[in-house]
Amino acid sequence: MTSRIKEFIKRMKTERVIEPMMRQKALDHRDSLLILSESRSGTTWLLEMLKTIPNSATIFEPLHVYYGSYSSSCKYSWGSWLDPKNKSVEILKDWQDLLTGRRLSSYSLSRGKMEEYKSAKQLIIKMIYATSHLPWICENLNLKKKPILLLRHPLAVAKSSIEVIYKSGKEISIETQWKPEGEILELFNRNIDLFSNNKSSLERAIARWCINNYHALQMHKEDKYILVYYEEMLMNPYQTIEMIFDIWNIQIPKEIFKGIEKPSSSDFNKDFRKNKKEQLSKWHTQVDPKEYKKLHLILDRFEFSHYEISEIMPLVSCV
């Protein structure tokens, strides 16, 4: 069976079976659990653990620019901005539909099973490049459980993204499908020198990480979401999971710990290191330490105090 035929069958199953079934469920969007992050930050690994929550089903990357729920219209592109003060009824309905499974794609269902959607009473939704939407989400969706912002060291994210996502032959395009809008565009324009041709791909990728996370991290003190560091989740997975479920005030499923030491399915290069410190430092060892100071100046420009470029662990613990 060709890949085109398989994809056609998946689309028909989504449109004719799963979408109508989810509409009849009438789920409450406020019950959904959200994971937001930049790419290569561990969201798939966290999703694979959280999906053990009873009566839950997963929605995978509904804002993907190619395969997501709004990919045909690019209504919510990577880098777009939703003003938290925007009270548009249309936008609110879009997100309510996303969070209740009334707006799906075959790709967003690719990590779940039919029986999970049949028994689902809540959805677990993971989205990369959606951190710019977090202020709007916290202000307008009235979620019963705080969403998770998963943060990983910008150097690790940048190096991993360049190696795994952005490479195409000899060309590297950090700006692929990234369309800054609104406050994100203003932030980009104020720092446009960081994206000039004389900047390395690594510098541009770190600058993009800063811009995408900027507004979400500015509101961290408001305590409207759960900040989780990938590094702490890797080194102390049990404590991190306990911290999340304690804030959510729900019981930890026993099954969650069965896969807690396994690499995620997004380990495309099969390069996950069993030695955890080696896993965290592998991207640092690929960068000349002489470059650290120049790269850290990018973080300083955005007044980020969460990481030091030369250190593999975050500067302040969350657990």
Going by their DSSP bridges, the two strands 122-128 and 171-172 should be labelled as unpaired
Question: What is the pLDDT, as a whole number, of residue 67?
Answer: 87
pLDDT tens-digit map of 138-152: 999 999 999 999 999
CA nearest 61: which of 110, 134, 115?
110
Question: Diameter of the chain by CA atoms?
Answer: 59
Fill in the amino acid letter for 71: S
Pick the residue with more confidence: 32 or 221? 32
Q: CA triplet 292, 41, 10: central angle to 5 degrees?
A: 145
Radius of gyration of the CA atoms of the chain, in A:
19
Domains of the chain listed by start with CATH number: 3-301 (3.40.50.300)
The reported pTM is: 0.91
CA 5 to chain centre: 30
Distance CA 123, CA 125 (A): 6
pLDDT tens-digit map of 199-243: 998 999 999 999 999 999 999 989 999 999 999 999 999 999 999
Rounded mean pLDDT, 16-22: 85
Whether 43 and 107 have beta carbons less than 8 Å apart is answered as no
Instruction: Break the chain down into helix, strand, coil percent, rounded to 5.
Output: 50, 10, 40
CA nearest 25: which of 89, 120, 97, 113?
120
Question: What is the pLDDT, as a whole number, of residue 5?
Answer: 73
Whether 143 and 134 have beta carbons less than 8 Å apart is answered as no
C-alpha neighbours within 13 Å on the C-beta side of residue 92: 13
Rounded mean pLDDT, 41-47: 93
Helices (H) and strands (E) in the chain, counts: 13, 7
Rounded mean pLDDT, 172-194: 85
Residue with tokens 């973080």: 299
